[in-house]
Structure 1
């Protein structure tokens, strides 16, 4: 997150009031946001006009609200916060799935709804975008199920409500909800709160002594410690601190699938991906035999835990979450994640024992396909292992794409973005838009299935319109291969309509994309080389694969489930 922006502080000096729209724009910009995702509608137009007048946020309009929500999710993973604007009812419900996914995956997205006028709500008027029953709180109640803070703005408390929701979203790494009635968007409110930073500098008031002491006592006698890193740690972008902690104690580090790429996979202390016994028996043995396990931002859902084959939290576990830390069965109250990590570093520095152990590293994906073999999943991922550039972001949709990506050894500076808890197919393509806008120095690489892409393909038009040039790879296997692997492989409900993907992408990008259709290892190598040679061009590669072929990790998952 950024510090309070000078523009936010300057506007308050000599200015007694600002509009609600301007106040919101300045607070979002102060929190590190440069873009605003969404779809316009009659109830949010005054709000959007007011935000546009500030010149602080660039509007990123999507073909539908679901795609905008997925894009905002990826943007927030990189920037620490994202904002999504929709209209009341039809618009906000269209993105509810995306916001729920952000809740499941601990992503700080602010859903902003342009709502009917306060007079309409007070009169219980039967206006459009409602169920015509006079109930104007129905959708707020729906969002209360998937957000950590909700406010319907009032003229008396609008500034405080905005500040409270944004602050809670950033601290908890969960979505929040703001409903702004159309007649309040241009209402004038006191500008004085803008003189106080929205996100104050770190305070040292948190009492970490008890937690630090308990951690030191456990680690002082440990000879086989290990760190398990999950996606909540990735949301706080704490890789440097985690790496320093590992180096200070010579502690090996494993990551859950949801945090793959957050820790440099070429580091000597990186020990692999841990999902119980599902992915790598070596990492499972490492964790199982540990006499101290430091869990950093870990959520053990069914997929992440290897269908609950993980080692459960026990008496020698240290656990750090977004706002809580504990050792064994004891918790130590409100301790923000960064503070708890600093306390752990002091605890390790205070031990007299060298916390070192040996471990076996999982071998890389084979570097070359079998000579003369047709292109299959194994050959595709081998080619990706050789080609994938350092310093990028690999986005993979759930299914064959994600489970194939987990087998890669990522080059330095490359992260994996996916949705292994919420598992909503179609996420990764719009997420490519959000990731690309959040950090234009990193060229996104997308791998998605044809079934997933049919859900959100129209977002390619937005990606092209924003001048982004990702490498977009489609695994074209005629349907839902992950569902085929789970059950009834030849059932008609797993088939999808065949599309001419290259022609479609050409149409959606107004001819600006470079497209390839490949069916052999040699053709794939040529397409990847072409993509690398034209970094300023959106490159789309249609990879034709057998409908029943799946990566080994996906087969292992489906066999167990």
Structure 2
């Protein structure tokens, strides 16, 4: 939940108990670490006296070592602070700066007694922004400028770190000033306004539709900004360009045609791109194709038709959360409206993540309409937080895709194997199990195009209640991108 809050608000914090509580959150922290999400974990631990005397207290391994769990966090956090009366102020500031600048989780161990000590009020605010580019950053910026000046067919690929640093507007200023064509990876969807004429679509490697695939693959300069070429983002590393075409500017790595350079502060650097001076691009830009005049029939819902109907249902300013599975791969090629924020977890890929993330995001921004798309298998892992959503009076629109099991796994391996089936629940009634009433939740179950169309019309206007929509589709049906990707992964795993 904290991860989703941070993706929308910019940063978040949560508190856990020592040992049993903090270890339950390691998986979530790993996802935040992998995808550059600044989350602060505050662990309430025993008093300093108990720790110093190695007392055998509950929630420990019974050996008097109070640093074991802290050490376990070292690989999934960017900074750790174990607070004492002497170091609390400096250590807290230190890890906060790490979270803000690196956009990664940090860990604070707070012994009970330390939480109540009196400290002096800080005299100034934390300052994470340098006043000007460093010498190294200025030199790299000049090289980027020269490359763009010489390029005849440049293309920009934006990634998830643009979202992590909340620098979408700075990226937009750069694109608009120089009239550059831009695409995003699935890991980074919504980093650029997909309703803009400069937007070419979502690039997914060899599975990308034409003409986008050829436009990117034949570019003489591919400028990656905050992007990582992961397997799930590029259909098994099947992107069609080489190191000799790539300049990559990221938060942890800068590469020029395969050669590693010194690092830059990404947000500061992207902001500076609009200050460059080179000729505006004058070549052809073919924007992403959108669904128009969609016909609705009294037929069973297919994956293909469902995502087209979703495209027409979206409005500007939405927050869309796509579960890693059928939902994510269905949404990847859905063109978004202006000012839409897209949340997913395609790098870490912990199923069930999005249900919690959607709730955290809506807590962070209740003014944005939130739409969650999640499969039945993923939902069964984290559905208990539905009670939290109802308690907090949240009103997302939830599409539960019921296709009787793990569709992603079926596409990759074991289409008819028992392990890809799950218990069949009565999903339409779940909200009432967790405290929902007809005053707080509207529930529906649809299996045809007409049924979904009618429910969408109703849900669009019923904004005060949670909309819980069970969408039944054939278990052997899948988004076209997932079918292609499944074949690629199956071949690679053979």
TM-score by length of 1: 0.83
Alignment of 1:215-254 (within 5 A): 215-254=144-183
**Structure 2 equivalent of residue 403 of structure 1:** 329
What does the per-residue CA deviation read over 1:238-269, in whole Å, with 9 as the maximum and x for residues that have no partner?
Answer: 12221221122221001000221221112111
Written as runs of structure 1 = structure 2, the 5 A alignment for 1:70-109 is 71-109=1-39
Is contact 2:404-2:475 (8 Å) kept? Answer: yes
Number of residue pairs the alignment of both structures matches: 486
Q: Which runs of 5+ in 1 are unaligned?
A: 1-70
Residue 418 of structure 2 corresponds to residue 488 of structure 1: no
2:479 matched residue in structure 1: 551
1:265 aligns with 2:191: no
Shift of 1:383: 1.6
Aligned to 1:23: none
The answer as to 2:78 corresponding to 1:148 is yes
2:466 paired residue number: 538
Find out whether 1:415 has 2:415 as its counterpart.
no
| CA–CA distance in structure 1, aligned partners of residues 480 and 24 of structure 2 | 35
Give yes or no for contact 1:325–1:340 (8 Å, CA) kept in 2: no
**Secondary structure class of the residue paired with 1:113:** strand
Aligned residue among 391, 400, 403 for 1:477: 403
Pick aligned residue for 2:265 from 333, 336, 339: 336
Deviations 1:254-291 (A, max 9, x none): 10002212211121110111121223343332222112
- Native 8 Å contact 2:441 2:466 kept in 1: yes
Equivalent position of 2:203 in the other structure = 274
Change (3 A) 1:214 1:130: same
Q: Which residue of 1 is the match for residue 218 of structure 2? A: 289
Question: How far apart, in 2, do the equivalents of 1:212 and 1:362 lie?
Answer: 29
Per-residue displacement from partner, 1:146-189 (whole Å, max 9, x unpaired)?
11101111110001111100110110011111111122111223
| CA separation of 1:355 and 1:363: change in aligned 2, threshold 3 A | closer
**2:73 counterpart SS class:** helix
Distance in 2 of aligned mates of 1:179 and 1:330: 39
The answer for the alignment partner of 2:492 in structure 1 is none
Map 1:288-327 → 2, pairs under 5 A: 288-311=217-240, 314-322=243-251, 325=254, 327=256
Equivalents in 1 of 2:11, 2:297: separation in Å? Answer: 47
Q: Deviation digits for residues 177-224 of structure 1, max 9, x if unmatched?
A: 1111122111223x14x2221235542262332112212222221111
C-alpha separation between the residues in 2 aligned to 1:372 and 1:122?
A: 71
Deviation at 1:533, TM superposition (A): 1.2
Compute the RMSD of aligned alpha carbons. Answer: 1.9
Please show how residues 122-271 of structure 1 align to structure 2 within 5 Å: 122-189=52-119, 191-192=120-121, 194-200=122-128, 202-204=130-132, 206-207=134-135, 208-271=137-200
Aligned partners of 1:367 and 1:383 also within 8 Å: no
Give unmatched runs, 5+ long, in structure 2. 490-494
> Structure 1 residues 329, 385: closer, same or farther in 2, change over 3 A?
closer
- Tell me which moved more, 282-291 or 392-401: 282-291
Shift of 1:329: 5.1
| Structure-1 separation of matches of 2:143 and 2:317 | 38
Q: Deviation of residue 373 (structure 1)? A: 2.7
Equivalent residue, structure 2, for 1:502: 428
1:85/1:111 contact within 8 Å kept: yes
* Distance in 2 (alpha carbons) for counterparts of 1:296 and 1:87: 38
Report the CA distance between 1:534 and its aligned residue: 0.9
Alpha-carbon distance, 1:507 to partner: 2.6
Distance 1:466-1:521 versus aligned 2 partners, 3 A rule: same
Task: Identify which range, 214-223 or 426-435, moves more after superposition.
Answer: 214-223
